[in-house]
Amino acid sequence: MSKVFSAHAVSVNGYISGRTPDGAEEFGRGLGDAPMLFDWYFDGDTPSRLFDGFKLDEPSARFFDAIAARVGAAVAGRTTYEHSSHWGGGSPHPTAPLFVVSHRPAPEISERQTLVTTGVGDAIAAAREVAGDKDVALMGGGLVTEALRTGLVDELILHQVPILLSGGHSFFQELPEHVQLRLLEVIPASGVTHLHYEVVR
């Protein structure tokens, strides 16, 4: 059966983005003052086999491409979608279709994207159907937290960048109870450590 996982670049203190000017929501600037969270995508000498323009440290490239090759569909929350400038009408993944979860109308949704207004569970179910025997990747802290609350996440991957950010948006929001994780692998690389966890049920 396919799996549902999330892979995010995070600071050591758990932020997936930094501060925006005056603390305002500035769509299109999702990383705020923390673009260094994504430096490891471009600071290496090994091109990604799946993502054009990505040049990573060799251990990162090996791990990143193996994870990306698993993805058959992606699900993103509305805030992540807006901060990412709608991915230009496409998807964060070069071949996987995108499902966007939102309770508000989204006239900017393209023909290559699917709007789901009935919640995270329905979006993941629809993505799983499209993904077939491949996996579903989740994007966005609020969306991942909601999926964890409802027991829909199988794995978490943290691309941990060695920095303590002064503020911004935390990856995980408040959960109703503890979520136990089992460490599957640790991949140290230049500018990042990849932490791969399984969610224990």
Strand partners, 161: 11
Q: How many CA atoms lie within 13 A of 120 on its CB side?
A: 22
| Rounded CA separation 3/72 (Å) | 10
Write the DSSP string, 26-56: -TT-TTTT-GGGGGGGTSSSEE-SSSTT-EE
Q: What is the pLDDT of residues 91-135, one digit of tens each?
A: 999 999 999 999 988 888 998 899 999 999 999 999 999 999 999
Unique residue bearing structure tokens 């260094």 = 36
Predicted structure pTM score: 0.92
- Confidence bin at 84 (pLDDT 50/70/90): confident
Rounded to the nearest 10 degrees, how much is the dihedral formed by the CA atoms of 131, 133, 138, 139? -60
- Confidence bin at 27 (pLDDT 50/70/90): very low
Please return the burial class of 133, using the count of CB atoms within 10 Å of its CB with bins 0-12, 13-18 and 19+: exposed
User: What pLDDT score does 17 carry?
Assistant: 83
Do 193 and 45 form a contact (C-beta atoms < 8 A)?
A: no
